[in-house]
């Protein structure tokens, strides 16, 4: 017992109830809300953008919390999968041979409100847009690339149309918003992860290029006088895309490491490590990251599996077709061949660029009075501790963690609801607004399954070669327009 506590007790003689009142300034309110950015503000989930996901996006939840009733998104219908596919496929958990795996459960259909006479309020789009694309992409050409296909749907700036010649930030500014999400930069770094190739100027945007375009877009948005929220870029190791599988041979039934003489057996990769292994295939170092979805497709064909365990890879044979690929890029213009591995130096390069760009985002936000949502720190925290609410613990585990969708990269509706809650809290703290926090139980307990799950063509089983191969072409977008240095050459910072 502390001395002052004793004195307080001995001095006890009664209670004095203090009352008071204070006057608070009127809370900030927002009436027009827009979002500019990539697949995250779009609500992209499980490899597709469809209305079922769009109405569960963080962006839409914030609009609902603001009470905005005419918030317009480029809603895309969800249709049954077909053979061949006619739209980008949606992935989901399916039952395969009595176990839980990933398959195609539906696909994107048509835009439902294509003829809206004004720009959409949610201008987020998929297709791997980089920061420059939100400023410079003023004419979209459907069919040229994934990026153009998505931009044409969302920005509708195809030549000869009313919005031709306008960029995403310009369309956003034209709506005279008072609250803007400026959610860009992910593809300027994480494209290296999805392709398995970390090349400065190709899959990694140079910092100076990034900042120039970032500030250019920010300046246009700031001209509206709106409150702007910006975001840092998550670390590649905080998402399940490369954090699910160890770089060792797994038993295809139990999914546990195969042990030889009590030790796990490394998978074989396409990089040589002289002098210990001067010619590939060579065993993967323990710190190698494996693509959660694509690597098992190849392993199921024996690729990367040592011949001694029934696979095709022979140590030092020089037959790279039997090794798990690291990805490659042929300068100056490609092609970029995606890989399924991230060696330690590639991870370091991605993380280094992530940190460099995030430093600029933080500094630019502070200098411009921007509300910052440090998504990098938040993802890192959740990857380490999970996220608990109401006694429910969610993790970043693939498929069963609850936070990330079946593509291993984009959040589920639960993850988006948590983001919306975080964003609202930051805006309230920064501006004095009183935006109500979202209804997370709705995201937690409302089933979000494809209505076409049963109609999927022969549920695409996981880890079965034939079916998984059908996924290969649709996963891991390849940027058709790699960033080049001023001399027109792609610059490689890591590699063999």
Partner 1 sequence: MTIGHRVRPRRLALVLIACGFLVAVPAFPSGFQLMSQGARASGMGLAFTAVANDPSAIFFNPAGIGWEQHFDIDIGSSFITRTKGEFDGAAPYPGVGVNESVHKTTFTLPTLYLVAPLTQDLNFGLGIFAPYGLGVRWDNAENCNGNCANGVVSPNSFSGRFIAQNTYIQSLDINPVVSFKATPQLAFAVGADYRLSKVMLERNEAAVNPFTNSVVDIAHVKLNSDLTDNHGWGWNAGLLFKPDPHFSFGAAYRSRIKVDYDGTATFGQRSTGNAVLDTVVASELPQGTQKVATSITFPETVNLGTAFGFADGFLLSLEADWTRWSRFSELLITFPSNPAIPALDRKTNWDDSWAYRVGLEKKFSGAWAIRAGYYRDKTPQPIEDAGPLLADNDRDAFTLGFGYDSPRWGFNIGDIYIKVKSLNTANTANNDKFFGTYHEDVNVFAFDFRFSF
Binding residues for partner 1 restricted to 451-480, rule: CB under 8 A = 453
CB 348 to partner 1: min, Å: 32
Minimum CB distance to partner 1 smaller for 315 or for 389: 389
CB 398 to partner 1: min, Å: 9
Minimum CB distance to partner 1 smaller for 383 or for 399: 399
Q: Of 4, 10, 262, 486, which lies in the binding site for partner 1, with binding defined by CB under 8 A?
A: 10
- Asked if residue 143 binds partner 1 (CB under 8 A), the reply is no
Q: Of 99, 113, 263, 368, which lies in the binding site for partner 1, with binding defined by CB under 8 A?
A: 99
Minimum CB distance to partner 1 smaller for 220 or for 460: 460
- Asked if residue 144 binds partner 1 (CB under 8 A), the reply is no
Q: Of 265, 399, 467, 490, which lies in the binding site for partner 1, with binding defined by CB under 8 A?
A: 399
Are the C-beta atoms of 217 and 184 separated by less than 8 Å?
A: yes
Are the C-beta atoms of 130 and 207 separated by less than 8 Å?
A: no
Stretch that binds partner 1, among 127-135, 307-315, 319-327, 399-407 (CB under 8 A): 399-407
CB 12 to partner 1: min, Å: 5
Task: Output the CA angle 368-372-373, nearest 5 degrees.
Answer: 165
Stretch that binds partner 1, among 97-105, 214-222, 464-472, 478-486 (CB under 8 A): 97-105
Sign of the C-alpha dihedral, residues 314, 320, 321, 325?
positive
Residue 218 is encoded by which pair of tokens? 């920010």
Q: Please state whether beta strands 289-290 and 341-342 pair in parallel, antiparallel, or not at all (unpaired).
A: antiparallel
- Give residue for tokens 């649709």: 474
- Asked if residue 448 binds partner 1 (CB under 8 A), the reply is yes
- Give residue for tokens 């042990």: 259
Q: Please state whether beta strands 179-183 and 33-37 pair in parallel, antiparallel, or not at all (unpaired).
A: parallel
- Asked if residue 256 binds partner 1 (CB under 8 A), the reply is no
Are the C-beta atoms of 325 and 313 separated by less than 8 Å?
A: no
CB 146 to partner 1: min, Å: 24
Binding residues for partner 1 restricted to 401-420, rule: CB under 8 A = 401-402, 405-406, 412-414, 417
Stretch that binds partner 1, among 36-44, 86-94, 225-233, 289-297 (CB under 8 A): 86-94
In angstroms, rounded to a whole number, what is the distance separating the alpha carbons of residues 349 and 355? 10
CB 351 to partner 1: min, Å: 28
Are the C-beta atoms of 33 and 218 separated by less than 8 Å?
A: no
List CB contacts of 173: < 8 A, sequence separation 6 or more. 220, 221, 223, 224
- Asked if residue 19 binds partner 1 (CB under 8 A), the reply is no
- Asked if residue 438 binds partner 1 (CB under 8 A), the reply is yes
- Asked if residue 449 binds partner 1 (CB under 8 A), the reply is yes
CB 384 to partner 1: min, Å: 15
CB 429 to partner 1: min, Å: 10
Count, residues near partner 1 per rule CB under 8 A = 48
- Asked if residue 9 binds partner 1 (CB under 8 A), the reply is yes
In angstroms, rounded to a whole number, what is the distance separating the alpha carbons of residues 436 and 41? 19
Contacts from 418-425 at CB under 8 Å and sequence distance 24+? Answer: 418/387, 419/40, 419/58, 419/373, 419/375, 420/58, 420/59, 420/61, 420/62, 420/65, 422/373, 422/378, 423/58, 423/62, 423/181, 423/229, 423/373, 424/62, 424/65
Residue 83 is encoded by which pair of tokens? 């053979």
Distance of CA 279 to the CA centre of its chain: 35
Minimum CB distance to partner 1 smaller for 64 or for 491: 64
Are the C-beta atoms of 38 and 183 separated by less than 8 Å?
A: yes
- Asked if residue 15 binds partner 1 (CB under 8 A), the reply is yes
Minimum CB distance to partner 1 smaller for 12 or for 24: 12
Q: What are phi and psi of 204, to 5 degrees?
A: -115, 120
Minimum CB distance to partner 1 smaller for 366 or for 434: 434
CB 59 to partner 1: min, Å: 17
Minimum CB distance to partner 1 smaller for 162 or for 436: 436
Are the C-beta atoms of 343 and 193 separated by less than 8 Å?
A: no
Are the C-beta atoms of 245 and 340 separated by less than 8 Å?
A: no
CB 393 to partner 1: min, Å: 8
CB 471 to partner 1: min, Å: 17
Q: Of 278, 441, 451, 454, which lies in the binding site for partner 1, with binding defined by CB under 8 A?
A: 441
- Asked if residue 431 binds partner 1 (CB under 8 A), the reply is no
CB 420 to partner 1: min, Å: 9
Minimum CB distance to partner 1 smaller for 107 or for 405: 405
Binding residues for partner 1 restricted to 335-394, rule: CB under 8 A = 388-394
* Three-state SS at 183: strand
- Cα–Cα distance list, 389 to 179, 375, 393, 414 (Å): 28, 19, 7, 11
Are the C-beta atoms of 484 and 332 separated by less than 8 Å?
A: yes
Q: Of 442, 454, 455, 458, which lies in the binding site for partner 1, with binding defined by CB under 8 A?
A: 442
* Three-state SS at 268: strand
- Asked if residue 12 binds partner 1 (CB under 8 A), the reply is yes
Footprint of partner 1 (CB under 8 A): 1, 5, 8-10, 12-15, 92-95, 98-100, 388-394, 399-402, 405-406, 412-414, 417, 421, 436-442, 444-449, 453
């Amino acid at each position: 017992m502390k001395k002052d506590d004793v004195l307080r007790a001995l001095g006890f003689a009664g209670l004095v109830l203090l009352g008071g009142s204070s006057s608070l300034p009127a809370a900030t309110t927002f009436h027009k809300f827009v979002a500019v950015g990539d697949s995250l503000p779009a609500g992209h989930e499980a490899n597709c953008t469809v209305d079922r996901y769009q109405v569960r996006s963080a962006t839409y939840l914030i609009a609902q919390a603001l009470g905005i009733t005419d918030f317009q998104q480029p809603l895309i219908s969800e249709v049954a999968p077909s053979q061949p596919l006619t739209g980008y496929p949606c992935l989901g958990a399916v039952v395969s041979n009595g176990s839980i795996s990933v398959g195609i459960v539906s696909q994107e259909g048509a835009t439902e409100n294509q003829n809206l006479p004004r720009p959409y309020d949610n201008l987020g789009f998929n297709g791997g847009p980089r920061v420059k694309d939100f400023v410079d992409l003023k004419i979209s050409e459907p069919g040229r690339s994934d990026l153009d296909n998505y931009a044409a749907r969302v920005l509708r700036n195809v030549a000869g149309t009313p919005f031709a010649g306008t960029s995403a930030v310009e369309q956003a500014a034209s709506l005279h918003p008072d609250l803007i999400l400026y959610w860009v930069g992910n593809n300027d770094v994480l494209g290296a992860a999805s392709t398995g190739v970390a090349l400065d100027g190709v899959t990694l945007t140079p910092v100076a290029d990034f900042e120039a375009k970032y500030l250019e877009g920010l300046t246009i948005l700031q001209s509206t006088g709106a409150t702007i929220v910006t975001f840092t870029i998550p670390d590649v190791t905080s998402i399940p895309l490369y954090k699910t599988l160890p770089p060792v041979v797994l038993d295809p039934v139990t999914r546990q490491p195969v042990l030889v003489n009590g030790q796990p057996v490394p998978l074989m990769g396409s990089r040589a490590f002289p002098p210990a292994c001067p010619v590939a295939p060579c065993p993967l170092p323990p710190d190698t990251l494996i693509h959660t979805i694509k690597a098992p497709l190849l392993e199921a064909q024996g690729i990367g599996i040592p011949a001694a365990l029934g696979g095709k890879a022979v140590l030092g044979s020089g037959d790279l077709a039997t090794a798990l690929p690291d990805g490659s890029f042929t300068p100056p213009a490609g092609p970029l061949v995606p890989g399924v591995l991230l060696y330690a130096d590639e991870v370091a390069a991605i993380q280094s660029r992530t940190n460099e760009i995030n430093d600029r985002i933080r500094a630019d936000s502070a200098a411009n009075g921007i509300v910052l949502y440090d998504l990098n720190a938040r993802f890192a925290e959740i990857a380490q501790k999970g996220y608990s609410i109401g006694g429910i613990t969610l993790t970043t585990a693939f498929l069963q963690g609850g936070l990330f969708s079946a593509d291993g990269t984009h959040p589920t509706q639960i993850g988006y609801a948590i983001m919306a809650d975080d964003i609202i809290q930051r805006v309230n703290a920064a501006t004095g607004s009183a935006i109500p926090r979202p209804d997370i139980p709705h995201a937690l307990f409302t089933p979000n399954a494809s209505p076409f799950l049963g109609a999927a063509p022969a549920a695409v089983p996981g880890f079965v070669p034939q079916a998984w191969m059908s996924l290969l072409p649709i996963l891991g977008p390849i940027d058709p327009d790699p960033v080049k240095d001023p001399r027109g050459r792609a610059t490689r910072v890591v590699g063999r």
